[in-house]
Amino acid sequence: MTARQRKIKRVLVANRGEIAVRIIRACRELDLETVAVYSEADRRSPFVHLADTAVYIGPAESSLSYLNMEKIIEAAWQTGADAIHPGYGFLAENAVFARKVEDKGLVFVGPTPETIELMGHKTASREAMRRAGVPVVPGTEKSVKSTAEAREIVASMDGYPIMLKAAAGGGGKGMRIVRHDAELDRALEAAQDEAQKAFGDASIYIEKYIENPRHIEIQILADQAGNIVHLYERECSIQRRHQKLIEECPSSVLTPAQRSRMGQVAIQAARACHYRGAGTIEFLYDASGKFYFLEMNTRLQVEHTVTEMALGMDLVKLQLLIAAGNPLPFTQTDIQPQGHAIECRINAEDVYHDFTPSIGKITAFVPPDGPGIRVDSGITVNSEISVHYDPLVAKLIAFGRDRNEAIARMKRALREFQIAGIHTTIPFCQMVMSEKSFQKGEFNTGFVEKFWRDMVADDRDKNLFEIVAVAVKALQSGTVRNPGTNHSANSRNGVSSWKLRGQKEALR
């Protein structure tokens, strides 16, 4: 591959929310001008105020705005932008969009359309990875047509459990675990049905199901001259329904030898698909320490922040430098973790009611700060959390010299974080940070399933909640019946003799 110098002066950010803010920050530090595109629902969002230019692209529904390729490219053209950064989600892994951008003579900040296309197709990418010597989960490369064919395949890989997956899929759709032969017929039909509806493609392939693996991914960075480095791993095993909730760098389970082996394999994978820019190879890591290629994300990840904090790097700036044709400014041996970083995703979800979306107006927003704390957010007071977009409102990242310090800082920062008006995943994150098995680093993707019910059922401080609820009801009822009664009411420091049970518990 040859590096092509491309002049980038003005970058259009084809995204919204916290990631739009994140990209604008990197551009500003590199002295690049920024163009934001926004939907009707985002007119008041912080990323609009932070950009140099802001272009309205349509109504709240993302299909008419943030997914509207023509509108976005037109906005870039009209504002004189020379590059488009897609962020994550929306059009970030859309090969058609990447091609349209390049056809217009603009720089797409990401890999080539060919790479996106290849790695976006599950069976094609598995096949490419297998040929490149990357370990893949045993299974089929071709989609299965019939249950008879499926049975043959299952027999050839030591039987159940297996996983049915949509070839065009992602995000847990069209996925089915099958543990017994009797379930196969119905499961295959259901998966095909779901895949057809979700992706317009009913192709299903079969994989060996790895029971409760850890999810460990390697960040890689490749310049246009073909230099590739890995930026260590991220452990993302705290997930619910395949949605990551807490990530960290480095993983507490990998030995140095495993780490370097996984890093080398990830570089092999990136080389095999002619990668350019920042990308992530996701692996499943089983109880015996074996790891298997899961998929490649050909974009910046939500959790890129933990890599940045642990390694002291700015991945978005590096993406932009690479897109402009510059060589990597370092080699593999220059890269060393400086400590440990953890990210908590603060989602607008009601964790006490099965993580249902929580919508509404933010009435208070006080993010934590202080030593070792970073907050990437895209909201402010009076921001409206709507159903139109994903529920991520902020990412809280804690950095420490070691994992223990990072956990202690995260606990401290979660306690400080004030978001009023909606429910968030903060109580979930607090409980995970306090859980012994998390602290010891002994967990896998089955963690949330295993612990969450007990966590929610926790009714410590029942007495305190009762007193507070009584006080709130009295205040809401509003009538002050006995103004100025005895009881030394003027002393602000009146200490009561009534000892509350559970008072010592840190509640915030």
Partner 1 sequence: MKLFVPDRKKFKSYEVNISGHLMEIREGNNTLRIDFEKLSATQYSFLINQKPYLIETFPTGEGIDVKIGHRRQVVPVLTEREKIARELFGATAGLAKEEIIKAPMPGLILKIEVEKGQQVKPGDPLVVMEAMKMENEIRAKFAGKVQEIAMEPNQTVEKGAVLIKIGKV
Residues between 374 and 393 that touch partner 1 (CB under 8 A): 387-391
Which of 456, 496, 378 has the alpha carbon at shortest distance from 49? Answer: 378
Burial label for 141, CB within 10 Å (0-12, 13-18, 19+), is middle
Whether 21 and 47 have beta carbons less than 8 Å apart is answered as yes
- Under the binding rule (CB under 8 A), the answer on residue 484 touching partner 1 is yes
Give the 3-state secondary structure of residue 138.
Answer: coil
- For partner 1, the closer CB: 148 or 495: 495
Torsion angle, CA of 90/92/98/102, rounded to 10 degrees? 110
Nearer to partner 1, 232 or 389 (CB): 389
Q: Where are the alpha helices (DSSP H) in 30-177?
A: 46-50, 69-79, 95-103, 113-120, 122-131, 147-156
| Closer to partner 1 by Cβ: residue 175 or 220 | 175
Question: What mask, x for binding partner 1 by CB under 8 A, covers residues 413 to 442?
Answer: -xx-xx-xx-xx-xx--x------------
Residue with Cβ nearer partner 1 (255 or 482): 482
C-alpha 81/C-alpha 94 separation (Å) is 20
Nearest C-alpha neighbor of 55 from the set 73, 41, 36:
36
Binding flags for partner 1, 354-373, as an x/- string (CB under 8 A)? x-xxxx---xx---------
* Complete edge-to-edge strand list for the sheet that includes strand 33-39: 53-58, 33-39, 10-13, 83-85, 107-108
Amino acid at 319: Q
Asked if 256 interacts with partner 1 (CB under 8 A), we say no
Give the range of 106-114, 156-164, 246-254, 475-483 binding partner 1 by CB under 8 A.
475-483
CB of 197 to partner 1, least distance (A): 9
Q: Which of 182, 334, 436, 498: binder of partner 1 (CB under 8 A)?
A: 498
Q: Name residue 277's amino acid.
A: G
End-to-end Cα spacing for the chain: 54
CB of 339 to partner 1, least distance (A): 26
Cα 111 to the center of its chain, rounded Å: 19
Query: Does 200 participate in binding partner 1 (rule CB under 8 A)?
Result: no
10 tagged catalytic: no
User: Of 7 and 492, which CB lies nearer to partner 1 in the complex structure?
Assistant: 492
Catalytic residue from among 299, 345, 403, 409: 299
Strand ranges, E, within 273-332:
277-285, 291-297
Residue numbers 292-351 binding partner 1 by CB under 8 A:
348
Separation between Cα atoms, residue 287 and residue 25, nearest integer Å: 40
The 8-class DSSP code of residue 500 comes to P
**8 Å CB contact between 344 and 410:** yes
Contact status, residue 295 vs residue 125, Cβ threshold 8 Å: yes
Name which of 89 and 400 has its Cβ closer to partner 1: 89
Is 64 a binder of partner 1 (CB under 8 A)? no
Count residues binding partner 1 (CB under 8 A). 66
- 457 touches partner 1 by CB under 8 A: no
- Residue nearer to partner 1 on the CB measure, 1 or 468: 468
Cβ 507 to partner 1, closest distance in Å?
A: 4
Catalytic annotation, residues:
299
Binding site for partner 1 (CB under 8 A): 243, 348, 352-354, 356-359, 363-364, 387-391, 414-415, 417-418, 420-421, 423-424, 426-427, 430, 459, 461-462, 464-477, 479-485, 487, 489-490, 492-498, 500, 503, 506-508
